Amino acid sequence: MPNRFRSCAAACMAACLLLGAPAAGTAQTSDAAKAPSTRSEPALSPSKGQDYPSRPVRIVVPFTPGGQPDIVSRLIAPRLTEALGQQVIVDNRPGAGSMIGSRIVASANADGHTLLSISAAHVVTPAVRAKLGYDTVRDFAGVTMTSNAAYYLVVPNSLDVRSVKDLVALARAKPGQLNFTSAGTGSATHFGGEMIRSSAGIDVVHVPHKGIPEALTEVMTGRVHFFMAPFGSTAGLIRDGRLRALAVSTTQRTRMNPEIPTIAESGLPGFRYDSWQALFAPAKTPRAIVNKLNSEVAIALKHPEIVQRLHAVGIEPAPSTPAQLDQFVREQLKLAADLARRAGLKPE
């Protein structure tokens, strides 16, 4: 089983959130998640299975173009088109913190022709939104994890810190005086900052902004002190010396910046917070179709050209089984809810 699906001790639960190793013994997130699954898997005759797909397949991305789910989906779509014998198209449906696109897929026919390509928003959004219009566990069938990437812990050049240990020491010496930014309250970058706060036991203030560009600007000007920033938005600024990267959020150093240490090796053992992306189908999609999609996506993610293009933007292919993804989602929903409570966030 891949490392990202192994369990870690309860003591590092906070540091394992959102594609860290799922904490051992974690419960499911809500009454809906705790209830026996209503998902059924209709039997599919060999002939019917061979008939899938019978029309174009749509991959709904609930974000604007350019993010990790969009990049991965557009890279694998041509390979899936060739393998499945029907056109596979990517349909961006952004809005409401990924809820608009997710609702489209949750309510679609469970026949494998409408899929959801989504990030950690799939487990973060339920922790901060009370009315989703769907149930994250019962309305989706996991197809496969597709990729993960690192966040970079960045600080302004004007801040006199050179390591995670320096930043933690400064925050402890000045409780309540340092701050961190994000791309909005309840965003994945917000949860990344909260993980630093929780894991390090420091008193810092959250200063949210409208998006990643605005957050990065605030760091560069020195008005905020640190940010857990996505690689794709940050690499050029780090390369040009406009931001200082203290560490990366993954358990291993990145291919792109092997000189930058991990947060775990820099003073917060066990820390892991990956930017992940996965593919889901509507619940009750026949298991034979889910398995076929899982197999074809895994093959596409091994194609040398796709691997090279993903690596060029700091993304690692990371396929899984459907069962691994479904279990992962259940565990991460619980961990996200726990972290939201510690951060004082309530579903609205």
* Closest C-alpha to 279, from 311, 314, 316, 325: 325
Please return the burial class of 259, using the count of CB atoms within 10 Å of its CB with bins 0-12, 13-18 and 19+: exposed
**Alpha helix stretches (DSSP H) within 95-210:** 99-106, 121-128, 164-173, 188-200
Yes or no: say if 278 and 321 are a contact pair by the CB < 8 Å rule: no
Domain residue spans of the chain: 3-149+273-342, 151-266
Q: Is 151-266 in the same CATH topology as 3-149+273-342?
A: yes
DSSP-assigned letter for residue 139? T
In this prediction the pTM is 0.80
**CA 262 – CA 152 distance, rounded (Å):** 9
CATH superfamily for 151-266 is Periplasmic binding protein-like II (3.40.190.10)
Instruction: Decide if pLDDT at 193 tops 90.
Output: yes
Give percent of the chain above pLDDT 90. Answer: 69
Per-residue pLDDT of 273-289, as tens digits, reads: 989 999 999 999 999 99
CATH superfamily for 3-149+273-342 is Bordetella uptake gene, domain 1 (3.40.190.150)
Per-residue pLDDT of 298-325, as tens digits, reads: 999 999 999 999 998 889 999 999 999 9
